[in-house]
Structure 1
Amino acid sequence: MRRAPHPVPGHLDGWSPVQFSTLIPGPFARSRAASEPDSTDEPRTKDHRSGRARILPITAAAAALVLAGGSAAFAHAQKTVTLDVDGNVSQLSTFAGSVDGLLDDQGVVVGARDVVSQDGSLGEGAEIVVRHAHQVAVTVDGQEQSVWTTALSADEALDSLAARGQSVALVASRSAAGGRPELSLDLALHGAADVVVDGQTLPVVDADARVAQVLGELGVTLNPLDRVSVVRNDAGRVQVIVNRVTMQDVTSTAAVPFASSTQQDASRYTDQKRTLTAGVPGVRTVVERVTTVDGVESGRVTLSDAVTQAPVDEVLSVGTKARPVVVKPKAAPVAAATGTPVTAGGSADSLNWAALARCESGGNPASVSASGKYYGLYQFSLGTWAGVGGSGLPSQASPDEQTARAKMLYNRSGAGQWPVCGKNLFS
Structure 2
Amino acid sequence: MECYRSDVVSPAGSHRVPGGRAAARRAARRGRATGRTDPVRRLLPQALVVAALAGGTSAFVAQDKAVRLSVDGDRRTLHTYADDVGELLRDENVPVGAHDIVAPAPGERLASGTEVAVRYGRPVTLTLDGERRRVWTTAHTVDGALRQLGVRAEGAYLSASRSAAITRRGLLLHVRTERTVTFLADGHAHTIRTNAATVGEALAAAGLTLRGQDTTSVPQDSFPRDGQTVTVMRITGGEEAREEPVPFTTVRRADPTLPKGTEIVARAGEPGTLRTTYRVRAVNGVRQRPRKIRSEIVKAPVPRIVRVGTMTPPPTAAGGPADGLNWRAMARCESGGRPDAVDGSGRYGGLYQLDQGTWHALGGHGRPQDAPPAEQTYRAKKLYQQRGTSPWPTCGRKLHQ
TM-score by length of 2: 0.34
Q: Which has the higher contact order (CA 8 A, sep 6+)?
A: 1
**TM-score, L = length of structure 1:** 0.32
Judging by fraction of residues, say which structure has more helix: 2
